[in-house]
Amino acid sequence: MSAIFGIYNRDGKPVSPRLLREMSDSLAHRGEDGADVWHQGSVGLGHRMLRTTPESFDEHLPGSYDGGDLVITADARIDNRDDLLKRLGLNDPAENICDSMIIISAYKKWGEDCASYLLGDFAFVIWDNRNRKIFCARDHFGIKPFYYYYSKAVLAFATETRALFNLPEISGSLNEEMIADYLVDNYEDKAATFYQEILRLPPAHTLTVSPDRLRLDCYYALDPSRESASRTDEEYAEGLKEVFTESVRCRMRSAVPIGSMLSGGLDSSSIACVARNLLAERGKDEPLQTFSLVYDRVKECDEQRYINLVLSQGGFNQHLIPGDKDTPLTNLGAICRHIGRPSIGPGFSSTFGLYEAIASAGVKVVFDGHDGDSAVSYGYKHLDELARAGRWFDLAAEARAAAPLAEMSPFKIMAAYVERYRWKPFLQKHPRVNRVASVGRRLKGRSPVETPNANRFAQRNTLINRTFAERVDLEGRYKAHRSCRSKLPRTTRSDHFQMITTGGQALALEEYDAVTGAFGFEKRYPFWDKRLIEYCLSLPGDQKYRKGWNRFVMRRAMDGILPSEVCWRRDKTDFSANFIDGLANERRESLSCLLINDDDIFNKFFDRNAMHEAYQKLNSNGVEGGDPKTGIDLRAIWEIASLSSWLRQIARN
């Protein structure tokens, strides 16, 4: 969680040392362990340092090599160090070789292909003086952020957008198309930001800039056609346990205290227990610090029973933080200020207290189980695969197992799939199920786990300023996005691939990085390891879903490591109750201030009268009545409040 920044004047003008210092100052919160800049002629690179790995304590960035012909600044943790040290012929003791030196050596050996040889989380920039070019790279899944601005005259880059606003060339003009996509939940553009002049380097991409050329290249893409060789359940589970353990192990390379989020769910519990075991193997007698949200008021969100089962195994030092203390709007202004845009999820308000506790405990590295569901995959599409293959008796067995979870009878589940996949031939072979065919037709061929809300856009659209909506073709954008989303993947693997590669993943990770950066610690994500993602994606459908158990292979891999009740729990807590409770207890003046105001910048995007009417309806019906039947979309209310908070900050600046 260090920070990088820099300027390359493509027109040859000398770079301004004062401007580099200003960029550094705006990123001071990300690097308490030092700051430095390097500049020569038309190029300047900068760095803010947060030292977390043992090697980083001897690392000085920006780093100059080969007599100044190569200069690097990097926010990086390289995980395949041992392999690269051998391949690159770096013979010094490993503890003397920092990660940026490995990256420079990789660049010298493989040139612009170097990023494809790296494992880990990284964003780095190399100034190649001999070839008069800047080379930039971002990691495979976008763990480390990278923002940039370019024109014919200049390239500027930074870890956070706030540093780029020091440039006089950047006016801060809003990107109305991105705002429109935000309002229709479309996050698939991996290069755009909420500002016209600022771009993101997409995950798994490199950027090469010279005086006369700018080139963007993709160096890595997941292969959805790759399949694991046929093996037994035990072999699949053992393979996942091995790659998952290694993913946790390499992220434990730290010279500072390590902590782990612990929610009581399968993902965070797996990380915490494996990390605790690895500490014990190393002979470390210090406990693993764990940080958990507990809910004393909103009991349906409380996971403390499962948290306690994990903690009872020993080897942990627990920190319990109230998760229902704050409302979804309590820290909204601070969140938008940290990330430099509206937030895409309401969960950060409740985690603010969690981050404060981590900072107070002096923990600098924290494991997070972010979206392990997508990394491993629920595997629900396996039922579609069975139906498409005509394996009706296997599907019937799965339907019986899934029925209690879906709160539907096995007959209704079967009917849904029979309706979708060749129900007429099936009925001709099995006339006794004719009596449930009508149920399948009423379900309109939908899987019980697919229940889109067709009214959501209609509710939001009434609140939008018509001039803005027409200017950006809001309805057209929504229809195009829905059309793309409606093309449902046909297999478990293609569904898994879609979940991993959606643009919302990188946007969420960027949000995490900015907020945790404000608190001075670094998050690490064992489930977003390239090797683990590739392994899980290659697994057959019945390893992801079996007899009502989603993430089947993960449960088998963790069996004996996790408490059985945690490993084989069927439920997953829905935290929307805390969101609704928080809005219900929000002060009405706070809501009205965000939803109804006379700021020109707000009314440019929203219909003031429609917003006033929606607010009155929310006031009279109560937040608990927020659903499609009352015409109130609570998620839309929160997103509009988030957008409003950010717009007001812009108006004040």
Contact 322, 297 (CB under 8 A): no
Q: In what order do the strands lie in the sheet with 35-40?
A: 35-40, 43-48, 3-9, 154-158, 147-150, 199-200
Q: Are 371 and 533 in contact (CB under 8 A)?
A: no
What pLDDT score was predicted for residue 613? 83
H or E element in which residue 365 lies: strand 365-367
Q: Is 132 helix (H, G, I), strand (E, B) or coil?
A: coil
The residues near 506 (Cβ < 8 Å, ≥ 6 apart) are 141, 142, 190, 200, 202, 203
- Dist CA 48 CA 422 (whole Å): 60
Q: Is 59 helix (H, G, I), strand (E, B) or coil?
A: coil
Q: Considering only CA atoms, which of 417, 409, 407 is closest in space to residue 441?
A: 417
Helix ranges restricted to H, 251-303? 266-281
- Cα 35 versus chain centre, distance: 28
Residues in the chain: 653
- CA dist 63 and 350 (Å) reads 39
Question: Which helix (H) or strand (E) element contains residue 453?
Answer: none
Residue with tokens 């080139």: 215
pLDDT tens-digit series, residues 171-209:
999 999 999 999 888 899 999 999 999 999 999 999 999
CB hemisphere CA count around 611 (13 angstroms): 24
Contact assessment for residue 536 and residue 496, using Cβ atoms and an 8 Å cutoff: yes
* C-alpha gyration radius of the chain: 26
Sequence letter at residue 145: P
> pLDDT at position 285, please?
78
pLDDT in tens, 383-397: 989 998 889 899 999
Place of tokens 């439920």: 571
Cα-based distances in Å from 14 to 38, 42, 136, 435? 13, 4, 21, 80
Model pLDDT for residues 16-41, shown as the tens digit of each residue = 999 999 999 999 999 999 999 999 99
At 451 the pLDDT is: 35
Cα separation, 182 vs 164, in Å, equals 22
Cβ burial of 446 (10 Å; 0-12, 13-18, 19+) is middle
Handedness of CA 103, 106, 108, 114 (dihedral sign): negative
Q: Is 361 exposed, middle or buried (0-12, 13-18, 19+ CB in 10 A)?
A: middle
The pLDDT of residue 273 is: 98
Identify the segments of the chain with pLDDT beneath 70.
422-456, 485-488, 587, 621-633
The span from the CA of 647 to the CA of 649, in Å, is 5
pLDDT tens digits, 98-112: 999 999 999 999 999
Residue in 652, 322, 295, 368 with CA at minimum distance from that of residue 515? 368
> Quick count: other Cβ atoms within 10 Å of Cβ 562?
23
In angstroms, the CA 152 to CA 14 distance is 15
pLDDT for the residue 455:
60
Cα 631 to Cα 133, 184, 621, 623, distances in angstroms? 55, 17, 10, 12
Rounded to whole angstroms, the Cα distance separating 542 from 570 reads: 17
